[in-house]
Structures are given as C-alpha cells and as structure tokens.
Structure 1
C-alpha cells in the first residue's frame, strides 16, 4: 500500500513528454543548407521553436492557439526553402524572418493574449 502511494506521488509530478518534432524542420534546413551555429536554423529557429513548446503551459488558451497555428506555418516556410533549394545563408535568414509577418497575421497574433 505504501509503495503504491509512493509511486502515485512520484508519477503525479512527472511532466508529460513534449513533442518537439515540428522543430525538426529547422534541423532539416541546416542539413540541406549548413549555415553553422550562427545561422538562422540553429541560432534562432530551432531553439525558439523548442522554447515555445517547453513554455507553452504558461500561456492562456488564446496564446496556445496562436502557437499551435504559427509553428506549422513557420515550419512550412522552412520546408519550402529546402524544396526550393535555397542554400544562401543570408537569403535563408531573410526569407525566414519575412515569413513571420504572414504567419503571425494568419494566426491572429494581434488578437491573442499571451500572459
């Protein structure tokens, strides 16, 4: 009985595994067009993607809905860069940041509450 209670308490505090697979688009971009640790994929896209997933529990429902919408939108732009064979690191960074405005607008950024 005590062992059962101990296991219940232990597993009550275990966080569910987070799914970072959407962020793999940035690793695929880096593999297709290596720009190194200071390039967009490894220095910005991948870590920011992972941080938003890790910290999503802190957001209100509107903020979570925005993140659930914007992550695949941005990942689709990254995948399009791979498909289009873009390998110039400066161009990759420029196109990636340009993708944020349409994705943010499409996902209702201005209407979302994030705290």
Structure 2
C-alpha cells in the first residue's frame, strides 16, 4: 500500500519544564487554560499557525514510561506548532504583541531555557485509514 502525498508542514516543538514552585496540576492547568487563551487571542499566531498541540507529561506517565527500560525525558510538556514555513513562524515570533504577551506569561510557569526542535511530520497511518 502506497501512502498518498500530503501537504508537509514545518513542526516546531518546544520542550517545557515547569517552574519549581508550581505543582504539576498548576502547571498543566495554566498551560491549557490561560496560556492557550493568550496565544489564541493573537491574530498573527492564529493566521499563521496550521495546528497547535499541547503534549502534557505527568509524573505518572513518566513512571509508566520508565518501565520500558529506556531513559525517560525530564520534560513536563511539549508545545507543538505547525506552520507552512520558517518565514511564517518568524512572523509570529517577531510580532511585538505575541512576544510581549506570550513571553510574559511563559515566565510565570515555564522554566527557562526552552529547548526547541524543527521537524516535518510524515503520517504513516492516517486517522481516516482506521475508520
């Protein structure tokens, strides 16, 4: 079976650790609530982003992952943003309102520095194939 060609988006992954003074619940609640709301109020972010996903990693999931016998990452979450191009992301990142609002909020709950990775997704088993 050959997988049909698909639109390829640039994925930017931000690897996050919570501020040490926060509980896991406080970190995850703030990230999926107020922080997401701040990002979604920015017109440039909404216009240029094709997909925004939050990967929430809990202590329980880290313990379960440790049973695989491989090293487990020490992150509390991964923010994934898909855009058409690096130029589109640079437009978002350089938007003064986005930088000010999102940056100020990140300082409240995310431990700096944030590590980043660029990649492309290649979906081998699409959702529609399972229906």
Same fold, judged at TM 0.5 (above): no
- Relative to the length of structure 1, the TM-score reads 0.33
- Relative to the length of structure 2, the TM-score reads 0.30
Structure with the greater alpha carbon radius of gyration: 1
Which of the two has greater strand per residue? 2
Which of the two has greater helix per residue? 1
